[in-house]
Amino acid sequence: MTTEQNGDLLAARLRVPEHVVYRDFVSETVVLNLETGRYHGLNPTGGRILDALERSDTVAEAAEKLASEYEQGQDQVEDDVLAFCSDLLTRGLVELRPDD
Amino acid sequence: MASVPAQVSTEGGGLATAALCAAVIDDDPHRVRRLVAILETRAGVEPADADLIVLGFDRLGREERDEIARRREDVPGTPLLIVVEQADSKTARDALAAGADALVLNDEAGTSLGPAAQAALAGQISLPHSFGDGFRRPKLSRREKQVLSLVVMGLLNAEIAAKLHVTESTVKSHLTSCFAKLGVRTRSEATALILDPEGGLGLGVLAISTTDDDDDD
């Protein structure tokens, strides 16, 4: 990803689409895509990031919350969150919120 | 050639050769007499001396499965046939998984036990035809897969209905159809059939492809 794309994604507002259901189990979060009928497993960190994305306005805001929660550097967390988000987008497990 | 039966008796459906003997093991003495008569074998044959073993049960539960597995271990090379009063495709699968070579319903033993014994001696596995559903990959519609995949996620019918924007009775009717195709009776049996690490259908059975039928809600 280019720096510009990263910047776009950081400012992006993401949400879990209507056709995606996720549920927390003891050791993982299971994400079901009803369009494809496929299940995806997130480790606890992935589950925590998804949760933060849902409760934040932008990707940058979610990264900020996570950085303070995990007491990690903002840059490092942003990189991890961006990589994760781009993976989720590719799999259709999150989508860009339309501007309202 | 004498040790391998060449034909099935059409009248009795028995072993059709005096050279073979079967051990019939069953708590029900009445059923033992009947199965011995059907097979035209001698009574009181010890499992270790038998050419094939027939286990008779009222039903197939955990205890019965354990017994099948135990017998299988005792005589690894001997055909093992199960005669049972009641079974379904799930319990039939379990019986084969435990090591049985054939399952015959008691009501059908008169016509089916002999041929099943012949088949087992020839190295074949046999089941009542209707129980084959437990082995075939069920063909589920797109909507059925969506409903079932949400059941596997642990959602209740009302939650599934809300998620898919259909009524609860539509969800129920899809589930009834799914259960029939999977040969199960309950959502927990359906989930177990899909997720069972040993021989389960796997989550892939719920993957949606472009060739899946659409059904109207």
Cβ within 8 Å of residue A78, ≥6 positions away: A10, A60, A63, A67
Arithmetic mean of pLDDT over chain B:
87
A34 occurs within a structural domain: yes
pLDDT of amino acid B42: 78
Q: What is the pTM of this model?
A: 0.63
Share of chain B above pLDDT 70, in %: 88
Task: Out of B142, B153, B164, name the one closest to residue A32 (CB).
Answer: B153
Q: How far is CA B120 from the centre of its chain?
A: 15
A100 occurs within a structural domain: no
The answer to whether residues B87 and B68 touch, using CB atoms and an 8 Å cutoff, is: no
Distances (CA, A) of B143 to A32, A37, B171: 14, 10, 9
pLDDT of amino acid A26: 83
Candidates B194, B216, B200; CA nearest to B141 is B216
Q: Do A37 and B153 lie within an 8 Å CB cutoff?
A: no
More confident residue, B133 or B27: B27
Q: How many CB atoms lie within 10 A of CB B64?
A: 19
Q: Which of A47-56, B6-15, B43-52 has the highest mean pLDDT?
A: A47-56
Gap between the Cα atoms of A95 and A98, Å rounded:
9
Report yes or no: A32 at the B interface, CB cutoff 8 Å.
yes
Considering only CB atoms, which chain A residues are within 8 Å of B208? 35-37
**pLDDT interval class at B134 (50, 70, 90):** low
* In the predicted structure, residue B118 carries a pLDDT above the cut 80: yes
Query: pLDDT, tens digit, for every residue of B202-215?
Result: 888 899 988 887 77
Domains, chain B: 22-134 (3.40.50.2300), 142-206 (1.10.10.10)
Task: Out of B153, B163, B207, name the one closest to residue A36 (CB).
Answer: B207
Gap between the Cα atoms of B80 and B99, Å rounded:
8
Report yes or no: A55 at the B interface, CB cutoff 8 Å.
no
Q: Domain of A74: which CATH number?
A: 3.90.930.60
* Domains held by chain A: number: 1
A79 occurs within a structural domain: yes
**Domain that residue A23 falls in:** 3-95
ipTM of the complex: 0.80
Task: Out of B146, B154, B203, name the one closest to residue A34 (CB).
Answer: B146
Query: pLDDT, tens digit, for every residue of B169-200?
Result: 999 999 999 998 888 889 999 998 888 877 77
